[in-house]
Chain A
């Protein structure tokens, strides 16, 4: 009886994983975006977002990388910016407060939509929450530019 329960659970698990095959083409698309330099280009579009957060233009690349590919895979870019010393500790903190809440928006939104949640609503909630909280953090941590 218990063996049957285990087997049923195993089969359900395998079927659910198989249904997520589209993660592979998605990761390919993100990798191409990264390698062709489009990600860096998109960093320039971040300026309107950076100004109210009192962040310099150098925060654009970690913002785009974090939002497009996530904190774990985008960690390379974020660590690099940290090492280059282009951002102060406070600026990095505000950037990461935003990214902590709002990152990997393409991948995670598609994933949750597939699970039956309202993806559009979720991504808006994340973006608004991230902006509000990061705005608050910037008022405490950063001087007026």
Chain B
């Protein structure tokens, strides 16, 4: 029956997302936990701090953007959940990730569909930074 087929397909898609997430989430948690306990996170945030501070974020947040774009939005979310951030920082970082994530794979998809991929990628990158700066300025 059609509905049964839909449920099977949906279940498979949902489990696949969970599986993909755990492949990133579990190693990310392990790495962040080890870095944290070993006291390495302050060094990382010191190095990237100045650039991220412009948009109200700590240096470690750069990790979130890197994993969201080179892996997936789930990887970025998993990394974000491993850091301790304020509500405002979570909102800014989430907005950035939602606007620009999986830049590698999604740009490849739109290029394959026949759109001008450069346009799609640049508009996303620029919007991400502009929105982050605006939110940092506007949010209490």
Within 8 Å of chain A (Cβ to Cβ): is B66? no
Within 8 Å of chain A (Cβ to Cβ): is B10? yes
Within 8 Å of chain A (Cβ to Cβ): is B65? no
Which of A35, A73, A92 has a CB less than 8 Å from the CB of B115? A92
Given contacts A13-B28, A27-B11, contact A96 B22 (CB under 8 A): no
In the complex, per-residue mask of A69-106: 1 if CB is within 8 Å of any chain B CB, else 0: 00111010011011000000110110111011100000
Complex-state Cα separation, A35 to B2, whole angstroms: 8
Complex-state Cα separation, A121 to B29, whole angstroms: 28
- Can you give 18 A-B contacts (C-beta < 8 A)? A2-B34, A5-B37, A17-B21, A24-B10, A27-B13, A28-B10, A29-B10, A35-B5, A75-B113, A92-B113, A96-B115, A96-B119, A97-B119, A97-B123, A100-B106, A101-B123, A126-B99, A129-B99
Contact A12 B120 (CB under 8 A): no
Closest to B139 in A: A121
In the complex, per-residue mask of B102-132: 1 if CB is within 8 Å of any chain A CB, else 0: 1001100110111110011101100100010
Which of A8, A31, A100 has a CB less than 8 Å from the CB of B13? A31
Q: How far is the CB of B9 from chain A (nearest CB, A)?
A: 5
Q: Give the chain B neighbours of A35 by CB distance below 8 A.
A: 2, 5-6, 9
Contact B131 A23 (CB under 8 A): no
Q: Give the chain B neighbours of A25 by CB distance below 8 A.
A: 14
Contact B26 A82 (CB under 8 A): no
Closest 4 A-B residue pairs measured CB to CB?
A28-B10, A9-B33, A24-B14, A31-B10
Within 8 Å of chain B (Cβ to Cβ): is A137? yes
Q: How far is the CB of A131 from chain B (nearest CB, A)?
A: 11
Contact B78 A16 (CB under 8 A): yes
Q: Give the chain B neighbours of A21 by CB distance below 8 A.
A: 18
